[in-house]
Amino acid sequence: MTSTLPAQRKDSQLYIGLMSGTSVDGVDGVLARLAPGQPPQVLASSSLPMPSELRQELLALNVAGEDELARGALAANSLARLYAQAVTALLRDAGVEARDVAAIGAHGQTVRHRPDSGYTIQLNAPALLAELSGIDVVADFRSRDVAAGGQGAPLVPPFHAAVFGAPQGRAVLNLGGIANVTLLEPGQPPRGFDTGPANVFLDGWCQRHLGTPYDADGRWAATGQVVAPLLEQLIASEPWFALPPPKSTGRDLFNMQWLDARLDAYDGSRPAPQDVQATLQRLTARTVANAIDAAAAGTREVFVCGGGARNAGLMRELAYCLQRPVRATDALGVPAQEVEALAFAWLAQAFMAGSPAGLPAVTGASGPRILGALYPA
């Protein structure tokens, strides 16, 4: 496509990436310099909590309800205003003017992900964000891949390959609400897919029983015991786990109703809530390990990003189930909480350069596609 950007933006190496993930706990943002042939240089980062009312509405919009269209549009506007606050903080902290930034990559909030039915929905108001920030916005990254027959997810493996590639077998694991893994093997193109639930159950069960947003460091899970028969039932009862890649998932499948149905069907005695939490923590680690062992048994080390990297209990479970070194991506020079936002800055740069960023081997699309749509300031 032909760009109508001012000259200073055409030549700018500054990009902003914004991410609000399946956990719906906040908005992460980075302002980075993305110079060809150079590692990304993060100039500023920002993390804003999701306002409680907006969080509850976004979660509610994951399931069918009354007046969804209007509610979804209003929630998208509220999210764009929160994005704009993050942008303002990034510009201020980096000492950068809006006119010096080439583009914002804004993923939006996924409320439906049904590539099997040919659609995916990320609530966003990129035109409003462009208006509020004065910066061009690239959004809607998934739909072109889905239109080409792909899953539209995961989107980050090419970024992981560019930033975290190594001469030995390495996996990059993102632990948001859903877990996804990128497999980086010497001499092979990157592969990646979702592995199943990460924090979606851990947070939801904790919120239900403790009234806290998450299980800090897995401390509550540590007071319980893994219920092995329940763990086996959770895995065996869900055919999705056994599907080969490419595959992706979300709250459409893995939600609290999914968990409640399996707890009701469990033929053992009802476990204590803390034992369920311990079992759910093991479920995340075990399904990740199963997926990596099946797809890339030669993987020698695993680097973790996303909110789950801050959960010491979950990281210990991963090391136990994987039987490999497990570390946060901080060890590779990119803080775990910044990785996904940085990935969307990178995807925005790819769009502005007219470079296909989709990987058919990852998503199953019929070919590489330029991902995103431009909303000029």
pLDDT tens-digit profile of 257-316? 999 999 999 999 999 999 999 999 999 999 999 999 999 999 999 999 999 999 999 999
Which are the contacts of 317, defined by CB distance < 8 A and separation ≥ 6? 218, 281, 282, 284, 285
Percentage, residues of the chain above pLDDT 90: 93
Q: Give pLDDT tens digits for 42-54.
A: 999 999 999 999 9
Per the DSSP assignment, residues forming a β-bridge with 106 are: 18
CA 181 – CA 281 distance, rounded (Å) = 17
Beta strands in 201-346 (DSSP E): 301-305, 326-328
Per-residue DSSP letter, 311? -
Alpha-carbon distance values, 205 to 257, 259, 270, 293 (Å): 11, 9, 15, 28
The first and second tokens of residue 276, run together, are 């369920």
Instruction: Show the domains of the chain with their CATH numbers.
Output: 7-153+338-375 (3.30.420.40), 157-324 (3.30.420.40)
Per the DSSP assignment, residues forming a β-bridge with 17 are: 30, 105
How confident is residue 10, by pLDDT bands cut at 50, 70 and 90? low
Q: How many CB atoms sit inside 10 A of residue 40's CB?
A: 24
Question: Reading across the β-sheet that carries 103-106, which strands appear in turn?
Answer: 41-49, 26-33, 14-19, 103-106, 137-139, 373-375
Beta strands in 156-203 (DSSP E): 170-175, 178-184, 191-197
Compare 187 and 134 and report the one with higher pLDDT.
134
pTM of the model: 0.93
Q: How many CB atoms sit inside 10 A of residue 2's CB?
A: 4
Identity of the amino acid at 123: L
Which are the contacts of 72, defined by CB distance < 8 A and separation ≥ 6? 61, 111, 123
What is the mean predicted confidence (pLDDT) over 26-35? 97
